[in-house]
Structure 1
Amino acid sequence: MRDEHFDTRTGLPEALRVLLEAHPRESWQADPNFHGLVSFWLERHMMFRQIMAHMQAETRAFLNADRDTQLFSQGIARYGGMFVNQLHGHHQIEDHHYFPLLRTMDSRIETGFDLLDADHHALDGLLSRFVEQANAAIRSASGPEARSSAGALLTGLGGLERMIGRHLEDEEDLIVPIILKHGTDGLG
């Protein structure tokens, strides 16, 4: 499999979509193995998407002078910290528990876990940049650099949303079908 970085790929490589073809997204909720681990895991992914959307909305409101400086700073600090901490914890559980177990369930998609692991490493750099941008926006929220720092944060959040969105979707397309096919025995 050639190197497919999440900032250039448009979905999982075709060779890794074999289980997704047998278990397409529209059939997931009807599957008996959906409820429990799969639905919880997808809810976590939705939470990450919602937090990013919330931070973007708050930053836009601040740039439009519809958000008080203090509320903006507190909100970005709170939601940004929660986002980074929860995402790091989520990735650690995946990397150290779920991925090693799931990779052995179907050799046809084993290389997909290498792809997801590479995503996690690349996301670390993106999250560090987000933290720097968020901290700069918070520090300068009441100063002359407020608009440019908040604008940089908004731009950064847009890129982060795109990259994390690609990763989350590909992760779901790889992992949900394997759990639906094999169940959760041994994963708990």
Structure 2
Amino acid sequence: MSDTHDDPLALASRTGLPPEFLYLRDALPRERWSTGGLHPTARRWLHMHGGFRAHQAEMGAMVDAWRRDQVDIRSLHRSLIPALQQYLQHLDGHHRIESGHYFPALQQLEPRIAGGIDLLDRDHEAIHAHIEAMVRTGRALHEAVAVGAADAGDRVERLADVLDLAGPQLTRHLDDEEDIVIPLIALRGDPLG
């Protein structure tokens, strides 16, 4: 099923998880997720997600500084393109591990949450489209700056638009994934070891 605005559970349109996917979080609410008491895998998961959120904020701040004329386009390019590459590599790798290994194991561990895990996996497809758009617009910016193209500023704006569109959806996915995965691992252990 595609990620459309007609589907209330589509990543682009949802504002949270339906109650049937929140029973584990209800058993272990966020306010009890003190990282010291969580299973080490759940702590690592939260740490990784925190890194993605911080990286998104950092890239947003870089673009904002450029928009406020606080940095020139070459300085922006020197910082933003490597940050974007690192972010995309980590995000893609994280999703491959989740979809290829953790999600199937978590469904076996807790069959009742299979629909929630399937939803998270479907999110990965929607996020992959954002990743592809970030790669395309990041490459276009890099090429424009490398040759001193007159439209390099427009390329920054295109990349900024892609980041602005992807950011809230990525955050929604991270929040929802945590609401399913963190209590499941905390309450039942790491299904992979």
Q: TM-score normalised to the size of structure 1?
A: 0.90
Letter in 1 for 2:143: R
Unaligned runs of 5+ in 1: none
Equivalent pair of 2:49/2:174 in contact (CA under 8 Å): yes
% identical equivalent positions: 32
Matches within 5 A, 1:34-183: 34-141=38-145, 142-183=148-189
- Segment drifting more, 71-80 vs 115-124: 71-80
* Equivalenced residues, count: 185
Distance 2:106 2:53 in 1: 24
Equivalent pair of 1:6/1:166 in contact (CA under 8 Å): yes
Alpha-carbon RMSD across the aligned residues, in angstroms, is 1.8
Distance 1:116 1:23 in 2: 19
- Divergent runs of 4+, >6 A: none
Which of these residues, 15, 20, 37, is aligned with residue 25 of structure 2?
20
Q: CA deviation at 1:164?
A: 0.4
Distance 1:36 1:180 in 2: 9
Equivalent pair of 1:63/1:147 in contact (CA under 8 Å): no
Q: TM-score normalised to the size of structure 2?
A: 0.88
Equivalent pair of 1:62/1:72 in contact (CA under 8 Å): yes
Equivalent pair of 1:29/1:35 in contact (CA under 8 Å): no
Q: CA deviation at 1:30?
A: 6.5
Equivalent pair of 2:66/2:72 in contact (CA under 8 Å): yes
SS of the counterpart of 2:150?
coil
Equivalent pair of 2:39/2:186 in contact (CA under 8 Å): no
